[in-house]
């Protein structure tokens, strides 16, 4: 992951692992129907744009315990309210 490479010189290994867990949880959220309004497809590109509030919420939201990194997810029913709060804070919900 590019995030790990980017952060490797700035953060300790445990902190990088926390970031990776939150990114996996965000990936799980993006598969949910509730995520659709927070994702923008870019015409003619192979990537998607994600609303900035998703990343701020991912930094704050509680995580469910998981044995494997790939299984991390945000605690049910807590992530989207935090996303909405973060979007309102920037004035463009």
* The pLDDT value given to residue 79: 96
* The pLDDT value given to residue 90: 60
User: What is the tens place of the pLDDT at every residue in 30-80?
Assistant: 999 999 999 998 989 888 999 999 999 999 999 999 999 899 999 989 999
d(CA 86, CA 27): 18
Asked if residue 3 has pLDDT above 80, the reply is no
* The pLDDT value given to residue 10: 83
Sequence-distant (6+) residues with CB within 8 A of 32 are none
d(CA 61, CA 78): 7
């Amino acid at each position: 992951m590019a995030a790990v490479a980017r952060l490797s010189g700035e953060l300790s290994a445990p902190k990088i692992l926390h970031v990776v867990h939150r990114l996996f949880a965000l990936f799980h959220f993006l598969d949910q129907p509730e995520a659709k309004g927070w994702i923008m497809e870019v015409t003619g590109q192979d990537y998607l744009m994600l609303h900035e509030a998703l990343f701020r919420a991912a930094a704050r939201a509680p995580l469910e315990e998981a044995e494997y990194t790939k299984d991390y997810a945000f605690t049910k029913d807590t992530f989207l309210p935090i996303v909405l709060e973060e979007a309102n804070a920037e004035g463009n919900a």
